[in-house]
Structure 1
Amino acid sequence: MPQLSLLKSPASVQAAMDEFSHLGRMAFLKRYGFGKSRDYMVRNPRTGEPCDSKAIVGVAFGKQFPTQGALAAEDFSGGDMTVVPLLQALGFEVMRVGEDWSEDEVQSTVTDYFEMLRLEADGVAYNKSGHNETLRKQLRGRSKASVELKHQNISAVLNGMGLPFIQGYKPRGNSQLLLRKAVQDYVFRHSAVVSKIVDGLEEVKTPAQKNYSAVLVESPLMEERQKPVASTRSRLRLPRKFDYAARDEANRKLGRMGEDWVIGYEQHRLTEMGHPELFQSLEWISDTQGDGAGYDILSF
């Protein structure tokens, strides 16, 4: 049986990845009899595309030793003890499938989403698949489907904030805390841009199509109030103007910014304490469940 450790050529690995890109994932796997990687992908440094690690190693062996040919899937095992250290020793980046998205990845995805939303508001045609492909080159081996899911998560966050979202990405919940924080950060930091997007999306619709999603809120709950006791004392009344809607909006924005600041503080605090992994388990109660719990954020 061929020894996997004999594979020493980075050029052979690159050649296998080039063929992967040329044929496409499914055609490449079918040609050489491999299944999709369940645990690890290797990034093609030329394109940024993630490739199935075990299949790449098997085909690369045949590139280095043409007379022996590519290894079959049953000829060797993949994973932590074989394929991963081999590819890393040859200078290639290996990523775990389904790994949590980093802050840089999330920021890049949010920025790309709002760029598409801006184009949609301006009535400019754009290609979602093209954006997806370009974005994936900045990410750590993410698939097309995983990027689409992230875009749907962003739509869900915006929908929860009462803001318009890309119609081609229907809202899908269970978003990463880091993503929700990044979306809300973007909205607050680029309020003028977001306001223009909201106006643009309403302007391009007919009156019958408009839903005014950026201005409508849920009706307040009816509350029983005690009837005030009539006073015999006269009260001095001074005329003044109140913009209650503006005051309420300012209070809500201030509250949201305060919670956002606390979450940033908790991320820093947990990292400084040596437990950055706990941040992903932090719960933004007021964001996911609403008010009334007696607290807004559940941390460690």
Structure 2
Amino acid sequence: MVDYNRQREEWRGSELDAIVADYFTMLSDELVQRPYVKAHHRAVLMQQVGRSAASIEFKYRNISAVLQHLGFPWIWGYKPALNYQDALFDAIDRYLTGNRNILDQQPTASPTPILDPVSIFAPMPVMTIPGPRTVGLERLVRKFDPVERDFRNRQLGRAGEAFVVDLERRRLLAGDRGDLARKIRWVAEEDGDGAGFDILSFDPDGRERLIEVKTTNGAASTPFFVTRNEMEVSSERSEHWHLYRLHQFAQKPRIFTVRPPLESVLRLDTETWRATPHPSA
């Protein structure tokens, strides 16, 4: 039963644990396109935690906002909303720590068929200057680092590259360049990593298009790694090199493209260092 006298109170840890678990149950259904009814989940939770429908809906949206920071997919019906209480970070931490399989089982294939290759492409997001993160959010992002997670997920990376190979073939076929579509090479799969790009494709006029694919199930704003080799090749072959940032892959794939010089359109922060013993050591 809803206790309206408690609506201004912050959610307790047990209440947050309940709604976080319920959110991930719905998200799991959504990612495999299994039908579920949000209203049913909300009604059960109202009885369980004694909160109003509006309070529960807003907390769902808070969870979406945190998952966006973590580079996770989120439930489309719950648009990310800020102004979350710090205790929510601890609840999400507890859930992910106790359900590590969630991290390993993020979808590595898109359920969406490519009907119109042009519709997949979207503008680069307009990024605002981010405000300072709270200590709790910063700690959570470090623990479940979306950049590192995507970078190490070879299955996700390979699925994204396969998606783009198919996309490029369809793009050229739609432009009546079946001859070029047949020449596309999945370089990373055939030759291995190290070329500084993943796919050799073509523009309709026959010019080579060297495509580096960066895939995430998160939002367009999710950061990604760029290697030293990719930077060098993008500079050496700037007329041909393209970065395809494939995002929202598990739900509604979209791509924004980046052209060299990368430093003119991307904020490049030093993340790792190549280390060797100092001569004087």
Higher normalized helix content (fraction of residues): 1
- The alignment's TM-score, normalised by the length of structure 2, stands at 0.41
Q: Which has the higher contact order (CA 8 A, sep 6+)?
A: 2
- The alignment's TM-score, normalised by the length of structure 1, stands at 0.39
